[in-house]
Amino acid sequence: MQPECGDNHLLNASEDDVKAILKTLLCAGALLICRTQAHATEGGQTNWASGVQTIYPALVPAQGQTLWQDYFVVNPNGAYSSASQKSSVPGFRATAIANAARLFHTWHGTVLGANISSSAILAVNSVTLRAGGHSGNAFGPNWLYLAPLYLSWHTPTFHAYLGEGAFLPIGSFSKTDVVSESTNVFGFNQEAAVTWMPTKRFDISAEGELQINAKNGATNYKSGNVINIDFGANYMPFTSLPQLRIGPNGFITSQFTNDRQYGQRVGDGNRLQKFGLGPQIIWFFKPPYAVAFKWQHEFGVENSMRGDRYWLQFQIPL
């Protein structure tokens, strides 16, 4: 019988079983954007990185312009939480460091009054894990996210877009290793975002993602599907310093279908749930140059790793 995520088998398992459980607990594509962490939930992980799109997600490049947007995140985790226990794996420690580089281009012309944009993101991560007397580490590419079509609508104060993309796993994966570079899961992602700027000093944004996951062919594990909502608000505290914005940011991640392995439901469904909240600070250089720092503390975690996320993000025109 295959091990089930979210259950504490480590105390009574054989060495081979422990490695199998740890593999299920962490498929190194944990983070990002990010992408990043699009958790869907073999090991409580997804391809999309929860909390990545908290800063003006509905703004797109100008027509004919290409932006390089970069997302770097450090995610130390001190526990793995099941649905019933905050720390369900003895001695669990994991740290994921990821970088996602995004090329974002808007084409000339419009369709139905909407701008047309395309995006490609390459995610690379480094993951270390220690639990139950075993440890492992992995470093390398995780996935390529291709989003060929975004449609966006813009007014002076309100912006919105719709887009869809696909995660293509490109890193190595081994079901016998404690951790791997990639989740080894192909995924479809539907995006929708809004940004509202009612005044020059205040704005608020949100982006939702519907994540549909394919089966991991190496483990015969089908992660459940996930809805994620990233949100953020910004305020200009000093009119004499218009380059500075500060405000709160966070995310809500919830899995709405069960995990399945070999056609059978995994435990009680092993459904992922996670929330994050913290501050963010943005500094605008000459537009569109900008850099941002943000922190998210995770809470209400079920069937996933639990810790904090520290982000550095920037964008520059190409």
Complete domains list, the chain, with CATH: 43-317 (2.40.128.130)
Instruction: Give pLDDT tens digits along the chain (318 positions).
Output: 323 333 333 333 344 443 443 443 333 333 333 333 333 346 556 788 999 999 999 999 999 999 999 999 999 887 877 766 666 577 788 888 999 999 999 999 999 899 999 999 999 998 888 877 777 888 888 999 999 999 999 999 999 999 999 999 998 887 777 777 788 889 999 999 999 999 999 999 999 999 999 999 888 999 999 999 999 999 999 999 999 999 999 999 999 999 999 999 998 899 999 999 999 999 999 888 999 999 999 999 998 888 999 999 999 999
Q: Are strands 158-169 and 187-196 parallel, antiparallel or unpaired?
A: antiparallel
In whole angstroms, what separates CA 57 from the centre of its chain?
14
Q: Which pLDDT score, from 0 to 100, does residue 297 have?
A: 96
In whole angstroms, what separates CA 149 from the centre of its chain?
20
Distance CA 61, CA 56 (A): 12
Write the pLDDT tens digit of every residue in 128-182.
888 777 778 888 889 999 999 999 999 999 999 999 999 999 988 877 777 777 8
Q: Which pLDDT score, from 0 to 100, does residue 284 have?
A: 95
Q: Which pLDDT score, from 0 to 100, does residue 87 have?
A: 61
Q: Which pLDDT score, from 0 to 100, does residue 200 have?
A: 93
Distance CA 286, CA 135 (A): 46
Q: Which pLDDT score, from 0 to 100, does residue 231 have?
A: 98
